[in-house]
Chain A
Amino acid sequence: MDLLIFGTCNSILLALIATGFSLTFGISGVANFAYGAIYVCGGLFVWALISKAGFPYLASIVISIITMGLFGYALYWVFLFRLRGLVLNEVIATFSGGMAILQLLRYLGFHGYEYALPPFMEGSIEIGGVGIELQRFFMIGIGAALVLFLYFFTHHTRLGLAFRGMSQDERTAITLGIDSDKTAALALAFGSSLATVASITILPLGIIDIDRGFDALIFALAVGMVGGLESVPGVIIASFILGFSQQFVAVFFGSAYTMVVFLSAIIFVLAVKPAGILGKFKELEERV
């Protein structure tokens, strides 16, 4: 039962972190390597609004999600607009931008033990005889709600359909009147907001730390590579495979070996199906 409960929690945690990165990449083709920095900034922004400006928790969350979304939107138009399509340049720009943000935060002193978000609700509950913190329980709920929201959004809203059109075939989408740059910028905004949702949900479990930004990026990449970088359903499936595998390895072999799960899964997927479980981008090359 422990394995089932904490395996689910771990899987949802990975899915929350990886979804924003995958969504952005799937729609705009931009691998946003500043994703980890945005993840940390989102959490720190909520912390600052609560502890320095005295805002209520819920209002701080909403403001932070919107602000980081606007940041992602601006990131596209200021830095990525001119680089679009130059894959290496995109990677260099976003990676160096992300590093600069994290190092700036470190320089400004946001590195210590005092930066923590309060849990949404203190306490714990028992599920099947297993005690679990309420925050972790909320995380499962938020993860499930996010999946439902994304499904509804991408199937029943104009913008969501435009996102899907872009991710399926950008040129055809353009011929149908979808503005490629505008949609890509919105994808960056959407991905940044999702990174903030993830950080606000996950960071109350521990402390806001700059190094968690590096972890978030690595987790997002690993899950994306296994599931298919551009495929949100693939990312969710990969999250559950990796989340449960990690928990299984931690319980039966030791927590220290959990990182081996990522590495082994990446090597296996690259050898067998380089596009990832539901990825399409490299399928043609694979056939050749």
Chain B
Amino acid sequence: MEKGTMSSIFKKAWFFVLALLVVSFYGPLIKEGGSSEKPVIIGMPISLYTAYGRDHKKALELTVDEINAKGGVKVDGVMRQFKVVFTDTRDSEPGVPVHDAIMAAEKLILNQKPDFLVGAFHRSEALLAAMDMLADNKMITFSGSPQTPLYTNRIKENPKKYKYLFRSAPYAVSVGVFWGGVLQHINKTLGLKKLFFIAIDFEWAKAIVKSFEGIAGKAGWETVGFDYVPAGQADFSAALTKARKSGAEMILLLHDLPEAPVCLRQWKAMKIPTMLSVIWTPAIDGPRSWQMYGDSLNYSIAAEFPAGGSFPVKNLPGSEEWINAWLKKYKDPPETSASKAAVYPAMRAIVDAINRVGRLDRDAIAEAILETDLKDISGRIRFEKEAHQMVISTDLSKGMTFAAFQWLDGKRIVIYPKAIADADIKLPPWVKK
């Protein structure tokens, strides 16, 4: 090849490389400048590689897509879109120290500079330990799965310091109150009154069993025994044998690990003459559970939050919209029954508060969130003024409601609260009343 031709090729190549560099440096800036305004950033620090983590992430993306499709939110008179950023706190993984989860969240706050945090953390320990860091950063935060009442108690004790912290999901106390109602309903409908607890050998489950004993007593039940099963155990025969010997008429299973369905299989195989209800057991109350465990779930009772979050409730018109939108975007149904919990009410409260305040002033928005009063398909979105806790109630005119349902031949039949119930509870054929 001639020298002149070579030189021409090199010149062209240099020009190409230079153009590429210019585009890669300035391209994103041009794009950013091209969009109307800087987006409002929603951060989610959560244990991402879990069923709850994945569902919360998808729920946030879905909700934000819907809000953005409607134009976003008006800040300082200009419509702005939402942008979501995530970090993996790993706080649900075994052996991960709490400070790792907090560091991940703090890194997200410092690097990505979110305006709000939604669905924050998986474990109560991480959320409690992060409270001061979140308050120091004036970060408006809606917690995710953590169940501890200590979170809201601390907010109540020091409302000035924790004015930016909220919870838009149920927690141990509201779960207990709701299940108290379910038990009372079962007691009145079927006349059952002897209760046996099978719970995973974790502190949260023990605490709920302890509080449930009192709640069940008030609902007309007598606790006849309990058994705590270690994590990883795939044999519940001893616990079920004890339940049978105790004369129990209802077993309440508190177990959030994947082996929980074994209990139902053995309950059926051993023909234990009791009803069986499950609390916080995603492997059983999730939308995909029947597909996986089929007939062994028949007649068991579970609950979801909010009602209509993972399947359409006949008596809640419009509740099919969420799950239909989910299926359209993701094809597969959510993994847990809590896909809508925490994230969706939080985003509605955020949008409403920004619209009322009209600017991204964190103090003003935190105060506006406390004044939230929105009608929703599953009830009403409001917050307790002192505890910053979203109001949970079976009265749809007061707060957001759970739905207790019974698995019957692959369908989830809502049995409680009465306002949205499809049918009465049915006793399994092997249980004699």
Mark A residues whose CB is within 8 Å of B. Answer: 2, 6, 9-10, 13, 106-107, 109, 111-114, 116, 122, 124, 130-133, 202, 205-207, 209, 211-212, 214-215, 247, 250-251, 254-256, 258-259
In the complex, which of the residues B234, B239, B288 contacts A114, with contact meaning CB atoms closer than 8 Å?
Answer: B288
Given A106-B93, A114-B288, decide whether A6 and B235 contact each other with a Cβ distance below 8 A: yes
Q: Contact size class for B?
A: 35 or more
Chain A residues with CB under 8 Å of B238's CB are 6, 247, 250-251, 255
Given A106-B49, A116-B292, decide whether A259 and B230 contact each other with a Cβ distance below 8 A: yes
Given A133-B265, A211-B231, A255-B229, 9 more pairs with CB closer than 8 A: A13-B234, A112-B51, A130-B270, A132-B270, A133-B266, A206-B261, A206-B262, A212-B232, A255-B238
In the complex, which of the residues A13, A130, A250 contacts B239, with contact meaning CB atoms closer than 8 Å?
Answer: A250
The answer to whether B228 and A256 have CB atoms under 8 Å apart is yes
Most A CB within 10 A of own CB, among B239, B241, B269: B269
Which residues in chain B, 211-236, are within 8 Å of chain A measured between CB atoms? 227-236
A109 to B58, CA, bound (A): 14
The residue of chain B having its C-beta at the shortest distance from the C-beta of A202 within the complex is: B234
Q: How far is the CB of B20 from chain A (nearest CB, A)?
A: 32
A109 to B241, CA, bound (A): 36
Q: How far is the CB of B200 from chain A (nearest CB, A)?
A: 10
Chain B residues with CB under 8 Å of A133's CB are 265-266, 269
The answer to whether B294 and A122 have CB atoms under 8 Å apart is yes
Given A133-B265, A206-B259, A207-B259, decide whether A113 and B234 contact each other with a Cβ distance below 8 A: no
The answer to whether B258 and A207 have CB atoms under 8 Å apart is yes
Pairs A–B under 8 Å by Cβ, sample size 12? A13-B235, A109-B54, A131-B269, A205-B234, A207-B258, A207-B292, A250-B238, A254-B227, A254-B228, A255-B230, A255-B238, A256-B201
The answer to whether A124 and B268 have CB atoms under 8 Å apart is yes
The answer to whether B262 and A205 have CB atoms under 8 Å apart is yes
B237 CB within 8 Å of chain A: yes
The answer to whether A113 and B283 have CB atoms under 8 Å apart is yes
In the complex, which of the residues B233, B262, B335 contacts A112, with contact meaning CB atoms closer than 8 Å?
Answer: B335
Cβ-closest 3 pairs across A and B: A250-B238, A124-B269, A207-B258
Chain B residues with CB under 8 Å of A259's CB are 230
Mask, B241-279, CB within 8 Å of A = 1, is: 110000000000000011101100110111100000000
A65 to B267, CA, bound (A): 32
B50 CB within 8 Å of chain A: yes
Most B CB within 10 A of own CB, among A106, A111, A214: A111
Most A CB within 10 A of own CB, among B236, B257, B289: B257
The answer to whether B261 and A107 have CB atoms under 8 Å apart is no
Chain B residues with CB under 8 Å of A113's CB are 51, 258, 282-283, 286, 288-289, 292, 335-336
The answer to whether A205 and B227 have CB atoms under 8 Å apart is no
Chain B residues with CB under 8 Å of A10's CB are 235
Given A207-B258, A251-B241, decide whether A114 and B230 contact each other with a Cβ distance below 8 A: no
Chain A residues with CB under 8 Å of B4's CB are none
A261 to B295, CA, bound (A): 34
The answer to whether A107 and B49 have CB atoms under 8 Å apart is yes
A29 to B94, CA, bound (A): 30
The residue of chain B having its C-beta at the shortest distance from the C-beta of A125 within the complex is: B269
Chain A residues with CB under 8 Å of B270's CB are 124, 130-132
The residue of chain A having its C-beta at the shortest distance from the C-beta of B258 within the complex is: A207
A200 to B262, CA, bound (A): 16
Given A206-B234, A256-B229, decide whether A112 and B50 contact each other with a Cβ distance below 8 A: yes
Q: How far is the CB of B286 from chain A (nearest CB, A)?
A: 6
The residue of chain B having its C-beta at the shortest distance from the C-beta of A137 within the complex is: B269
Mask, B130-170, CB within 8 Å of A = 1, is: 00000000000000000000000000000000000000000
Chain B residues with CB under 8 Å of A251's CB are 238, 241-242
Chain B residues with CB under 8 Å of A212's CB are 232
A84 to B295, CA, bound (A): 50
The answer to whether A2 and B241 have CB atoms under 8 Å apart is yes
A133 to B237, CA, bound (A): 11
The answer to whether B94 and A211 have CB atoms under 8 Å apart is yes
In the complex, which of the residues A6, A114, A214 contacts B237, with contact meaning CB atoms closer than 8 Å?
Answer: A6
Chain A residues with CB under 8 Å of B262's CB are 205-206
Chain B residues with CB under 8 Å of A124's CB are 268-270
A211 to B231, CA, bound (A): 10
Q: How far is the CB of A1 from chain B (nearest CB, A)?
A: 10
The answer to whether B232 and A211 have CB atoms under 8 Å apart is yes
Chain A residues with CB under 8 Å of B265's CB are 133, 205
In the complex, which of the residues B49, B239, B258 contacts A255, with contact meaning CB atoms closer than 8 Å?
Answer: B239
Most A CB within 10 A of own CB, among B54, B231, B232, B237: B237
The answer to whether A111 and B228 have CB atoms under 8 Å apart is no
The residue of chain B having its C-beta at the shortest distance from the C-beta of A114 within the complex is: B288
A113 to B232, CA, bound (A): 14
Q: How far is the CB of B97 from chain A (nearest CB, A)?
A: 16
Q: How far is the CB of A208 from chain B (nearest CB, A)?
A: 8
The answer to whether A255 and B228 have CB atoms under 8 Å apart is yes
A215 to B234, CA, bound (A): 11
Given A255-B229, A255-B239, decide whether A207 and B49 contact each other with a Cβ distance below 8 A: no
Most B CB within 10 A of own CB, among A2, A132, A214: A2
Q: How far is the CB of A237 from chain B (nearest CB, A)?
A: 20
Which residues in chain B, 175-204, are within 8 Å of chain A measured between CB atoms? 201
Q: How far is the CB of A178 from chain B (nearest CB, A)?
A: 39
Chain A residues with CB under 8 Å of B292's CB are 113-114, 116, 207
Q: How far is the CB of B248 from chain A (nearest CB, A)?
A: 15
Chain B residues with CB under 8 Å of A255's CB are 201, 227-230, 233, 236, 238-239
A122 to B258, CA, bound (A): 19
Chain A residues with CB under 8 Å of B336's CB are 113
Most A CB within 10 A of own CB, among B232, B233, B258: B258
